[in-house]
Amino acid sequence: MSENTAQLTYQGNTYDLPVVKGSEDELGVDISKLRATSGLITLDVGFKNTGSTTSEVTFLDGEKGILRYRGYSIEDLCEHSTFSEVAYLLINGELPTAQEFEQFKVDISRHTLVHENVRKIFDGFPADAHPMGVLSSLVTSLTAFHPESLDPNRDPKMVDLTIHRLIAKLPTLASWVYKKSIGHPLMYPENKLGYIENFMKMMFGLPVEDYEIDPILVDALDKLLILHADHEQNCSAATVRVVGSSQASLYVAIAAGINALWGPLHGGANQAVIEMLEDIHASGGNVDKFIEKAKDPEDPFRLMGFGHRVYKNFDPRAKIIKKHADAVLDKLGINDPLLEIAKGLEEKALNDEYFKARKLYPNVDFYSGIIYKAMGFPTEMFTVLFALGRLPGWIAQWKESRNLNQPISRPRQIYTGEVARPYPTK
Ligand code: CMC
């Protein structure tokens, strides 16, 4: 990293501020000493222009539509890797050798069972609870069953164990939530199956019959999880790093990430897409009316699954997933009116001046929701699938922050409330 200097002049004094350059020539002004030298802090609500860390995990360029994990393009990873390999890459920094990968798979598969007493906690949740709340609670509860995780500075082998347990147990917990919602018996994992196959079987299999694994669906889900695996300092990754900075257990940092992901402006958008399509269908299927609503500055309605904070050209993930959406829909021979509405909406919006001028393209959530629905996942599980995919990214971000021994995250503020005033006495 090479350094240069920027200058800030305030009330006749000039302050030198180092300019930090990243490996892709990104530049950032380092203001960490600004308050000590000038008394000033910087103000950036929503951190729209604030780099919270340097990072070696993920690079993205929103203008050019580039996304790379550890230097490898998302296109190459989707073509040549599996989700499990990508998880290893994100967490360890390099793709695994054949031997390392075999060991990783063994390390994960031996931890797929969840302590039977976690089931007792789980039993207390109502069947119609939102899966994300249940999932984050169960992940937090794992601290009680694996207390050696409470000190993240302990033996690095313990940290690895927690990482393996998280990757192994999240699919099991996710499937429990779904099974309970439909009144089916919970399925136990089958360790000889691959990561995605095992999850699909726990989700859609039944103890009374064989479950037939469909390679097209497994491949589509594998790709979807790769596409969601990391996205640098987004809301949930930043949350994981912030919670981790207090040196809390990795389990609770991940549980916090799950909660951050839940909101409709982040991971919840894929659910919002299907709900919007259902609304359009219920109101007669008139796409034009909804496009006009989205364009009306007086109307808060937005086309869900369109636009992105960072990608202002196209979302490279959406391009890849669109291909898989077609393959899955063809394979399943799905005849769903919502999918027809989605296609019509996409075509109209892409040719509409309002959307073109604002560079609003379908994002990954537009297509992922459609595929998940076609595969039989209920809408409330969509964000859970996002969490499954994002888990290795959260772990990689947490691990990097801990390895850099980053200080506790503690932003400052500009106070705008009442100044000191006398307490009213009678
Ligand atoms: N429909 C209609 N108009 C939109 C939309 C939309 N989906 N998104 C942005 N705009 C308009 C917005 O009204 C504004 O117009 P004007 O300049 O006339 O005021 C302009 O485009 C810029 O919008 P912005 O809110 O400043 O853009 P942003 O970068 O702050 O917001 C966003 C990004 C993703 C929050 C927003 O595009 C949005 O709300 N999209 C719908 C929700 C969604 O699909 N979210 C998933 C994001 S991808 C998943 C992830 O990575 O977490």
Q: What is the CATH number of the domain that holds 345?
A: 1.10.230.10
- Rounded to the nearest angstrom, the distance between the alpha carbon of 361 and the centre of ligand 1 is 10
Secondary structure (DSSP) of 324-344: HHHHHHHHHT---HHHHHHHH
pLDDT in tens, 106-157: 999 999 999 999 999 999 999 999 999 999 999 999 999 999 888 888 788 9
The count of other CB atoms within 10 Å of the CB of residue 63 is 10
- When pLDDT is averaged across residues 259-264 and rounded to a whole number, the result is 93
What is the position in ligand 1's atom list of the atom closest to the CA of 273?
A: 44
C-alpha 414/C-alpha 148 separation (Å) is: 40
Per the domain annotation, does 187 fall within a domain?
yes
Same domain, 184 and 278: no
Q: Ligand 1, from 258, 358, 365: best to mutate by most atoms within 8 Å of Cβ?
A: 358
Q: Please identify, among 375, 393, 416, the residue that sits at the C-terminal boundary of a domain.
A: 375
What SS3 state is found at 95? coil
C-alpha 192/C-alpha 104 separation (Å) is: 14
pTM of the model: 0.91
- When pLDDT is averaged across residues 225-249 and rounded to a whole number, the result is 97
Classify burial at 312, counting beta carbons within 10 Å of its beta carbon; exposed 0-12, middle 13-18, buried 19 or more. middle
Catalytic residue (one of 308, 324, 326, 336): 308
Q: If we measure between CA atoms, which residue out of 132, 135, 375, 126 comes closest to residue 268?
A: 132
Same domain, 202 and 289: no
Q: If we measure between CA atoms, which residue out of 349, 421, 397, 87 comes closest to residue 225?
A: 87
C-alpha 316/C-alpha 216 separation (Å) is: 21
Same domain, 111 and 160: yes
Q: For ligand 1, atom 31, which residue shows the shortest CA distance?
A: 309
Q: For ligand 1, atom 24, which residue shows the shortest CA distance?
A: 309
Per the domain annotation, does 425 fall within a domain?
no
Same domain, 243 and 390: yes
Judging by DSSP bridges, how do beta strands 66-69 and 3-10 pair with one another?
A: unpaired
Q: Ligand 1, from 308, 354, 390: best to mutate by most atoms within 8 Å of Cβ?
A: 308
Per the domain annotation, does 413 fall within a domain?
no
Residue 404: phi and psi, rounded to 5, are: -80, 0
Contact 320, 314 (CB under 8 A): no
Q: Is residue 365 annotated as part of the catalytic site, yes or no?
A: yes
Contact 212, 195 (CB under 8 A): no
Question: What pLDDT does 152 receive?
Answer: 85
* Model confidence band, residue 1 (pLDDT cutoffs 50, 70, 90): very low
Quick one: CA dihedral 296, 298, 299, 302, positive or negative? Answer: positive
Structure tokens at 68: 């790379």
What is the position in ligand 1's atom list of the atom closest to the CA of 305?
A: 44
Question: What pLDDT does 3 receive?
Answer: 56
Structure tokens at 423: 């307490």
Same domain, 212 and 359: no
- Number of domains the chain is built from: 3
What SS3 state is found at 20? strand
Same domain, 39 and 131: no
Contact 292, 353 (CB under 8 A): no
Same domain, 197 and 340: no
What is the position in ligand 1's atom list of the atom closest to the CA of 312?
A: 29
Q: What is the CATH number of the domain that holds 25?
A: 2.20.28
- Rounded to the nearest angstrom, the distance between the alpha carbon of 306 and the centre of ligand 1 is 7
* Model confidence band, residue 290 (pLDDT cutoffs 50, 70, 90): very high
CA-to-CA dists, residue 28 to 1, 23, 71, 94, 404, angstroms: 11, 12, 20, 26, 19
Percent of the chain scoring above 70 in pLDDT: 99
Higher pLDDT residue, 367 or 326?
367
pLDDT in tens, 10-66: 999 999 999 999 999 999 999 999 999 999 999 999 999 999 999 999 999 988 999
Question: What pLDDT does 271 receive?
Answer: 84
Which residue(s) pair with 194 in the sheet? none
Per the domain annotation, does 62 fall within a domain?
no
- Cβ contacts of 202 within 8 Å, gap of 6 or more: 171, 172, 175, 179, 187, 188, 189
Q: What is the CATH number of the domain that holds 244?
A: 1.10.580.10
Structure tokens at 359: 């560079």
C-alpha 224/C-alpha 368 separation (Å) is: 7
Per the domain annotation, does 412 fall within a domain?
no
Q: Ligand 1, from 48, 280, 292, 302: best to mutate by most atoms within 8 Å of Cβ?
A: 302
Q: For ligand 1, atom 11, which residue shows the shortest CA distance?
A: 358
For 35, the domain range is 5-51
Structure tokens at 179: 């099974």
Same domain, 120 and 192: yes
Judging by DSSP bridges, how do beta strands 58-61 and 27-29 pair with one another?
A: unpaired
Angle at 111 between CA 108 and CA 112, to 5 degrees: 90
- Rounded to the nearest angstrom, the distance between the alpha carbon of 422 and the centre of ligand 1 is 45
Per the domain annotation, does 65 fall within a domain?
no
- When pLDDT is averaged across residues 323-347 and rounded to a whole number, the result is 82
Q: Is it the case that residue 267 has pLDDT exceeding 50?
A: yes
Same domain, 239 and 123: yes
- Rounded to the nearest angstrom, the distance between the alpha carbon of 44 and the centre of ligand 1 is 19
Can you point out the beta strands (E) in 45-86? 58-61, 66-69, 72-73
Structure tokens at 335: 């005849």
Same domain, 254 and 272: no
Same domain, 161 and 248: yes
Per the domain annotation, does 351 fall within a domain?
yes
**CB-defined site of ligand 1, < 6 Å:** 231, 234, 265-267, 269, 294, 302-309, 358, 360, 363, 365
Per the domain annotation, does 333 fall within a domain?
yes
Quick one: CA dihedral 40, 45, 49, 53, positive or negative? Answer: positive
Same domain, 272 and 355: yes
- Rounded to the nearest angstrom, the distance between the alpha carbon of 356 and the centre of ligand 1 is 13
